[in-house]
A = this chain, B = another copy of it.
Amino acid sequence: MKIAITGKGGVGKTTLSGTLACILSQHYKVFAIDADPDMNLASSLGITEPITPISKMKDLIKERTGAESGSSFGEVFKMNPKISDLPESLSINYDDKGNLKLLVMGTVDKGGEGCVCPASVLLKALLRNLILKKDEIVILDMEAGIEHLGRKTAEAVDLMIIVVEPGLKSIETAERIKRLATDIGIPKIACVINKASNEAEENFVVQKLKEIGLDVIGSIPRDENVIKADMEGHPLVNYPESTAFKSIEKIAEIILGQDEG
């Protein structure tokens, strides 16, 4: 299964992506991909080592596959469509078991160097040609907002999760994402509510999302542990007893249940 986590900036995409990846890696081989040029997924997993980005991948893959110079990115990935075959140097193992690997799309290295369109094209080709085994899951932490939907970076995902917080701005963004994701043919779209302080706030968001035709598959209440974890530079999995972590465990179960159903 390929899952993309989207939403307005700051709603908690990276915390959900990282924590979900850790939880699912207990039973699956998980490939967590940071598709945001302003990369935070590694730090949300507590990883500080530098990772070679996918945008530096073309040469590496050529080296391994012997793909001819001049072949398009799509062709290169078609020749090597198993994510488990990707060069080790591109990913970092999260724990000893090696069930969770982290890949990063690429960032802006220098002011004025241009957009991240070429990196997006690479990632899109990778996702399109990727053949996953039954026990493999890809989780994409997308960049904030909607530009990636213009680029169709995540067109090949099975499920797009939109993270929404109490407030009209993030709901407005959810509505835009829904419309654009439908344009590019994403088969399943669902919402996760984050940071509701009480039931009234949660109900407010559920109701608004219902009006625009979006289902809610889970809610992560506001939890000081999330802020604490970010201030200390620790991943949320270090707080397995926190409400936020337990809520994400439930969301993981629901996602897996939907996949089987």
Contact surface of A with B, Cβ cutoff 8 Å = 8-11, 14, 36-38, 40, 43-44, 107-108, 110-117, 120, 143-147, 149-152, 155, 166-169, 172-173, 176, 179-184, 201, 204, 227, 230-233
Contacts and interface: CB of A to CB of B under 8 A. Distances in A.
Contacts of A232: 168
Nearest to A120: B115
A173 B184 CA distance: 30
B111 A167 contact: no
Nearest to A200: B231
A108 to B, nearest CB: 4
A37 B168 CA distance: 17
B150 A181 contact: no
A183 B147 contact: no
Contact of A10 (B114, B144, B204): B144
A208 to B, nearest CB: 9
A198 to B, nearest CB: 11
A231 B144 contact: no
A217 B27 CA distance: 48
10 contacts: A9-B10, A38-B144, A38-B173, A40-B169, A108-B146, A110-B150, A114-B151, A115-B117, A168-B230, A168-B232
A146 B231 contact: no
A40 B115 contact: no
B230 A111 contact: no
Contacts of A230: 166-169
Contact of A149 (B111, B180, B201): B111
Contacts of A227: 166-167
A145 B115 contact: no
Nearest to A224: B197
Given A40-B169, A43-B168, A144 B180 contact: no
B8 A8 contact: no
Given A9-B8, A10-B144, A169 B43 contact: yes
